[in-house]
Structure 1
């Protein structure tokens, strides 16, 4: 079966990554678009901040992703770029919320397309440890060595992240040495994409969504990337008819022209429990 040609058939797309994310995008972009995704060489994405915090993040997720994509395109000399940015927050007690953002930039067409996801990570957040045994117990519980860990040591107000530990023996010995030197020690999951299978799965899913979206043309101007851009709130209360904060419709739009469509959700009325008038 011949794959339909798209705006990106035979094109090279640069993924701004140093952690193997291009591999997560490769199949989806090849199958849906006929495009090739490769990583930018010589790019240090840690300069925009790290999960362990030794380099602080100063940009918003979208700004960081955009800046990374543009730098990757510059280094590779391509007009098409991808980049992702992930954050983890502990809003659900011991559970971590993973917010992922994937950006695609087409300098030629002036497109900036964003896809995002929110998932609950199966990997808990970090914790203070007081013994090598606690480090090993935590690591094994989250799936080490498949799921990586980071030891974060602090002494005299100086914090250091110890990464790329792949063996239990090395993990135990490193923890023991740091504790013996009276470092305060925290063990963290390593959320970098090549060290976190659950995060890699979230990024791969976003790449599939992005590839399908880029294969969808705008009905008006034929630009690639027509897809979901917003939601419309205001679903009326089933009891009093007042507009609520529930979603009434999905908005799909073009990244190049102003064309958009509105698709109502299946529900025509909202539960009164979510109505500010009936349930203030």
Structure 2
């Protein structure tokens, strides 16, 4: 995708509400359409933390709106605002496999539109274990890609103590020792640090979501010509290559405008026409 200096947003600033260096991967992408990504000084931890001190309240999209609204308060002169939100857990289709769900919200105050994109991936090191005296620390550190990926240590049964920013073995061992002393359960909770600045695997998924966002901004509605014409919904029913039965896999997609009511129903953009029998709930229940 080459740089599009003729895009109507070219030369404008977009204020990105982030605290954990996500602009490092989104700034180059946005620059391809001439948008200048500026980090907005927003304490996004107030809307939820992975380490558990602050619970996220509301849906992903509601949290994104809170973040962009906070950026608007700091930069009231701005037109474009951006926020990112990630969540981790079992994959919505694969089940037990861990997944990273990254969402981005782009707001244009002038046009009064929101462009929302998301990327769901099984490429994640998200993990958490209870650690006791004598347990194998090295195996867990290797599993989660430490020290390239950060770690969080907490004493079990004591929510007031959290050790973060851990990227050396000595720092982890010291945090574990201190956590054992602070734990009422004689156990320590070890978890991956999912903040983007401490998790390069997550940063790659945010970058993939950013590429989707740029494509959506480039895509103009065929009817009103407003940016943000993109896939909004999938229609299930892609047939199995063996038995021919419709599956839960998306067969067609709905493209929608973020401003007017115009929609189009199209085939899958990847050209897939059938599902392998291994993914069919009838052939492989």
Name the TM-score class by shorter chain.
0.7 to 0.9
Q: TM-score, normalised by structure 2?
A: 0.84
**1:268 offset after TM fit, Å?**
6.7
**1:146 offset after TM fit, Å?**
1.4
On the 8 A contact 1:132/1:172 being kept in 2, the answer is no
Distance 1:220 1:182, change over 3 A: closer
Aligned partner of 1:130 in structure 2 is 132
On the 8 A contact 1:87/1:99 being kept in 2, the answer is yes
Q: Secondary structure at the match of 1:121?
A: coil
The 2-side partners of 1:275 and 1:173 are apart by 49
Aligned partner of 2:154 in structure 1 is 152
Task: Give the count of matched residue pairs.
Answer: 276
On the 8 A contact 1:94/1:124 being kept in 2, the answer is no
Q: TM-score, normalised by structure 1?
A: 0.86
On the 8 A contact 2:124/2:202 being kept in 1, the answer is no
Ranges in structure 2 where 5+ consecutive residues have no aligned partner:
none
**1:254 offset after TM fit, Å?**
1.0
The 2-side partners of 1:244 and 1:96 are apart by 23
Q: Note the aligned Cα RMSD (angstroms).
A: 3.1
Aligned partner of 1:232 in structure 2 is 235
Aligned partner of 1:192 in structure 2 is 195
Deviations 1:159-187 (A, max 9, x none): 42211123211211221122144453101
Deviations 1:193-239 (A, max 9, x none): 11111110000111111112101211111111111111223567999
Distance 1:161 1:220, change over 3 A: same
Aligned partner of 1:163 in structure 2 is 164
Deviations 1:128-186 (A, max 9, x none): 1114874454224322221000001234x534221112321121122112214445310
Distance 1:141 1:274, change over 3 A: closer
**1:279 offset after TM fit, Å?**
11
Ranges in structure 1 where 5+ consecutive residues have no aligned partner:
none
Aligned partner of 1:212 in structure 2 is 215
**1:35 offset after TM fit, Å?**
0.7
Aligned partner of 1:53 in structure 2 is 52
Q: Which moved more, 1:174-183 or 1:230-239?
A: 230-239
Aligned partner of 2:263 in structure 1 is 260
Aligned partner of 1:176 in structure 2 is 177
